[in-house]
Amino acid sequence: DTAVSQTPKYLVTQMGNDKSIKCEQNLGHDTMYWYKQDSKKFLKIMFSYNNKELIINETVPNRFSPKSPDKAHLNLHINSLELGDSAVYFCASSQGLGRPNSYEQYFGPGTRLTVT
């Protein structure tokens, strides 16, 4: 069984379009994350949700909007896509705040977004 899954794995779209990436985890974790990995492989956190509540919102353009319908799902919607949004986006999950080893994160397979 896949622990953290993301759809789609690949996304090619044109500038100005709106797109969404979906993430689901079946680990029973409370906390979920979105990361962006740029072309130099640098991994940077974008957002984090704990039990459907936004707890981390790094400096990310307003065009990016996360949504967590329940604690097992975290989606990322991107409006008015730009060339610079091309990257790999990873979803991850962890046990949750204050839990033992709460920092240990499990990652999804990533979504490679290409904006043309």
Partner 1 sequence: AQTVTQSQPEMSVQEAETVTLSCTYDTSESDYYLFWYKQPPSRQMILVIRQEAYKQQNATENRFSVNFQKAAKSFSLKISDSQLGDAAMYFCASPDLTQGGSEKLVFGKGTKLTVNP
Binding residues vs partner 1 (CB under 8 A): 31, 33, 40-45, 48, 50, 55-56, 88, 90, 92, 97, 101-107, 109-110, 112
Judged by CB, which is closer to partner 1: 74, or 88?
88
Beta carbons within 8 Å of 40's beta carbon, 6+ residues apart: none
> Nearest approach, Cβ of 104 to partner 1 (angstroms)?
6
Please state the closest distance from residue 6 (CB atom) to partner 1, in A: 11
For the CB of residue 68, give the shortest distance to partner 1 in the complex, in Å: 14
- In 3D, which of 56, 68, 114, 71 has the Cα closest to residue 89? 114
CA–CA gap between residue 50 and residue 14 (Å, rounded)? 32
CB 95 within 8 A of CB 29: yes
